[in-house]
Amino acid sequence: MKQVYLDNAATTALRPEVIERITEVLRNNFGNASSTHSFGRSSKALLEQCRKNIASYFNVSASEIVFTSGGTEADNLALRSAVRDLGVTEIITSRIEHHAVLHTAEQLQSEYGVKLSFVNLDSCGLIDYNHLEALLTSADKAVVSLMHINNEIGNILDVEHVGELCQNHDALFHTDAVQSIGHYKIDLHAIRIDFLAASAHKFHGPKGVGFCYIRKESGLKPLIFGGEQERGYRAGTEAIHNIVGMDEALKIAYTNLDDEKAYVSELKTYFIQQLKKHIPGVCFNGGCEDQGNSTYTLVNVWLPIAPEKAPMLQFQLDLKGIACSKGSACQSGSNQQSHVLSAILDEEQLNQPSVRFSFSIFNTKDELDYVVDVLKDFVSS
């Protein structure tokens, strides 16, 4: 049976070079980076070199990069400290954020009584910037938390514009950039972003590691207490092999960005064309058909399938060796509809299946042809 992996928004395969680099570090640099002997110093040197390397991709100081276990921890670190330590009384976000942000915001509302406000969206799920400015105008001390690229429908946020709005209204700006880091360049010196979350496994790096960008002199305080690792921001022995793997994956991603972006963009365009050609009535959720407003790495497809057949679609795709998802991987196993699609689709549309297909450099047009054939057979059967 053919195996086709099109769930790269959930996680990506490690690049062979990353596996080799991680293995090398596991073998030769196993010392604790906090130890003062030669083994520890060797690990510490690697750790700080990775920090400098990663900071250089975003035009910031190495001291502004804090290593975490991934995007969820980075989101929690920024939002919880903003409310607990920085005097924030209102969180402004959207209803289509990742649950790492939404559930954290809801918990902070419960714990601290902060006001939770949601910016309006258009029918494609794009942010209403005029409404965002209105919310900021009426806010006392706010943090805006809006993701750079939506993980389900691929919408791209104008982070530069949001940063300007936040700066003009003395608000903090946090962005979950898990879906964009490694796929887009972001100059954090030029754009007014206070906190940014990233995760290595979204750009062919290892799971269990990411980073939080924390702008200098932000006043942010730790989420995890213990030792003095990460300059006190994040206690716990650093996983040097994972951090080095993340650095290697990011280096390759940005070195090859133009060529790989062109290749994956072509896959997305081709896939959309073939779906339209072979499946009459197919639609694309959010702005994912428009590569000007949507990432080149995914499409969210609405299929004209009878509601009684809809529950079988995912099962049939899996039987045919096709890996994709109906939404965020973090919701797998849940019977609930995607909260992102629920915010932009009507009830009739929600009764028919939507599937997210997300691409990487390891995919081919032949694989996409196979997927289209399987979908065409299922729709017409």
- Fold entry, domain 16-255: Aspartate Aminotransferase; domain 2 (3.40.640)
Question: Is this structure's pTM higher than 0.85?
Answer: yes
Q: Collapse the DSSP code of 100 into the 3-class scheme (helix H, G, I; strand E, B; otherwise coil) and give the result.
A: helix
Report pLDDT digits (tens) over 213-235: 999 999 999 999 999 999 889 98
φ/ψ of residue 213, rounded to 5: -85, 130
Residue range(s) of every CATH 3.90.1150.10 domain in the chain: 4-12+257-380
Which pLDDT does position 344 carry in this prediction?
92
- Return all residues near 288 (Cβ < 8 A) that are at least 6 apart: 153, 154, 155, 294, 295, 298, 299, 300
Q: Which residues of the chain have pLDDT under 50?
A: 329, 331-333
Give, to the nearest 10 degrees, the angle between helix 365-380 and helix 257-278: 20
- How far, in Å, are 42, 190, 219, 272, 360 from residue 169 at the CA level? 45, 18, 18, 40, 39
Which residues are part of the catalytic machinery? 330
Give the separation between CA 91 and CA 79, rounded to whole angstroms. 9
Residue range(s) of every CATH 3.40.640.10 domain in the chain: 16-255
Give the separation between CA 293 and CA 82, rounded to whole angstroms. 30
Report pLDDT digits (tens) over 22-62: 999 999 999 999 999 999 999 999 999 999 999 999 999 99
Which pLDDT does position 333 carry in this prediction?
47
Between the two ends of the chain, the Cα-to-Cα distance in Å is 21
Architecture of domain 4-12+257-380: Alpha-Beta Complex (3.90)
